[in-house]
Amino acid sequence: MSHHVVFLERDSIKVKVRRPNFEHTYEEYAHTAPDQIVPHLQQATVAIINKVQLSDEILAQLPNLKMIAVTATGYDGIDISACRKRGITVANIRHYAHHTVPEHVFAMVLALRRNLLAYRQEIETGAWQKSEQFCLFTHHITELYGSTMGIVGEGAIGQGTAVIARGFGMRVLFAYHPSPKKKDVVLTPFDQVLAESDILSLHCPLTPATRDLIGIDELRSMKRSALLINTARGGLVNEAALVQALDEGLIAGAGVDVLTVEPPANGNPLLDLRRPNFILTPHVAWASNEATQSLADQLIDNIEAWAAGKPQNAVT
């Protein structure tokens, strides 16, 4: 059987993507607007997507579609129950960013704990140049050794973050939330992790149970000296609550790589923050050259495995 493969968001991957090794026709689009989804996929048996939303209503208009290959780990934009009902296989990407995301986490952590942004501002305003001694002691610098890192999500990225944390001599707590996973890891009650963590790093999927996982009540229960790091999904953190927490000094700082709506074309409260204790990056924690190529290779591996009748990384 010949398949028709359609890549709806080719510009979402910056590296070479090989073609599948089975008989097929192929189309790709740099990006696809919501009203273009059905026309672009009308003849597709295989859809390659990133952030495109595939609802039950849209899937009902695509009778030829048999497989959805997601170019990411998260698949919250796809109606999974509708795919199951229609016999559509959905496969995602796994274990490709377990080095690059933890490295980004600690790039943020180190910059915040050592106040690098604040010290850079001091140099730009000439404070060091006017100092009467060789160094400038205007901002606190705190070591990671001996502090506690709380991690929500004990998958490959959460585990990778824990490895680096332990390398710094940190104590690691994996949070028991929203439900325990059957893995060889000790879980700690979520409330205890919030209260004891010097750094809280989020690495869990966005689901109805985890949306607004971190709101104002959770931020109030954290140490005032704590940092919040989110490189997972924007909807895990209530953004208005985070602004309030930083304004009121409820936590010491935050590093964020993801927002609730991306790109934030219509604004976002976090875009307006200009603080040395807040870092915002444009959803690039995953995007090292090495990780992106691994993703692209696994993407086609998933499609080829499905076509051969041996699906891998399937979520349906």
122 carries an active-site annotation: no
Minimal CA–CA distance to 69: which of 306, 308, 309, 232?
A: 306
Element (H, E) at 251: none
Instruction: Find the radius of gyration of the CA atoms of the chain.
Output: 22
Minimal CA–CA distance to 88: which of 51, 62, 111?
A: 62
Structure tokens that stand for 311 in this block: 């699906």
Minimal CA–CA distance to 32: which of 16, 17, 11, 56?
A: 11
Give me the helices (H) in the chain, please.
37-41, 56-59, 80-86, 100-113, 116-124, 156-167, 190-196, 216-221, 239-248, 289-307
Annotated active-site residue in 3, 40, 233, 239 = 233
94 carries an active-site annotation: no
Annotated active-site residue in 57, 143, 248, 262 = 262
On whether the CB atoms of residues 150 and 175 are closer than 8 A, the answer is yes
- Dist. CA 200–CA 60, nearest whole Å: 41
Can you tell me which residue has the tokens 């610098």? 141
203 carries an active-site annotation: no
Annotated active-site residue in 86, 103, 283, 304 = 283
Q: What are phi and psi of 237, to 5 degrees?
A: -115, 130
Catalytic residues: 233, 262, 283
